[in-house]
Amino acid sequence: MRMSPLCIFSPRILHPRGSHTAAGPFVPPCPPLDQEKVKELQRFISLSKRLLVMTGAGISTESGIPDYRSEKVGLYARTDRRPIQHVDFVQSAKTRQRYWARNFVGWPQFSSHQPNAAHLALSSWERLGKLYWLVTQNVDALHTKAGSQRLTELHGCMHRVLCLHCGEQTPREVLQERFETLNPTWRAEAHGVAPDGDVFLTEDQVRSFHVPSCAKCGGPLKPDVVFFGDTVNHDKVDFVHVRVKEADALLVVYSGYKFILAAHEKKLPIAVLNIGPTRSDQLACLKLDFRCAEILPLIAPW
């Protein structure tokens, strides 16, 4: 079975005791852990022999990365700002300049985030043969940093950059060095943190920022991720649908409705771990409103 390509860097395996387990400013409030619910999740996991896990932005909030939609603490709740649209990025050099200036400032912090106890638990499930496949909508590479290999990054990875003309891929850290070379005296202070390595800058701060082109063909550069308004690669979607068909149970951690519908049509048992209600709740046999980094490490992978 083919593996999805990993991000272009060497993953650093962390021990769970060194992980970030405390709730941070981007984690919505939730009820205290219910031991009966822990037992129910344990039974759900124990009964599965081909467990498929799908994760979304909520799993990384406990690593200090904000998401868009979490109640009271997500970007949409905190500000009136909205994420960049694919068509704007592709068509406008000014939009690309603004995006890359903000990403340049945010990259050192974003790239330094480490997996939390939930990422590490899922990686250990894989090593012990419990997790059949992991699909993530996240672009932060935290699953890869945790050591996961049976992994599909549905929306790409911020640690890669591609050329919109020739398709050449380069590591994001290499682009950071090129930014520094082109902007030796440019300085900007961020006015807030957004998801996916973005920060808030003023137009005056952005105006003098220089953006490099592809070193191979001179084309415009884009992070290797799916922006809002773009579509996920069809082959990747088909690949995930095959994994759904092969699985015997689905654990959803803040993630994708369309694949949950496919699992429901296949009559797979579905567990949803998400603080707050989701569209998938009525399809699940088990719903849990707890922090994923608190509950997942308690589950024995057998």
Residue 57 marked in a binding site: yes
Tokens standing for residue 31: 């009820």
Residue 275 marked in a binding site: yes
Residue 138 marked in a binding site: yes
Residue 166 marked in a binding site: yes
Residue 72 marked in a binding site: yes
Residue 205 marked in a binding site: no
Residue 282 marked in a binding site: no
Residue 132 marked in a binding site: no
Active-site annotation, residues: 155
Residues annotated within a binding site for Zn(2+): 163, 166, 214, 217
Residues annotated within a binding site for NAD(+): 56-76, 137-140, 274-276, 292
Residues annotated within a binding site: 56-76, 137-140, 163, 166, 214, 217, 274-276, 292
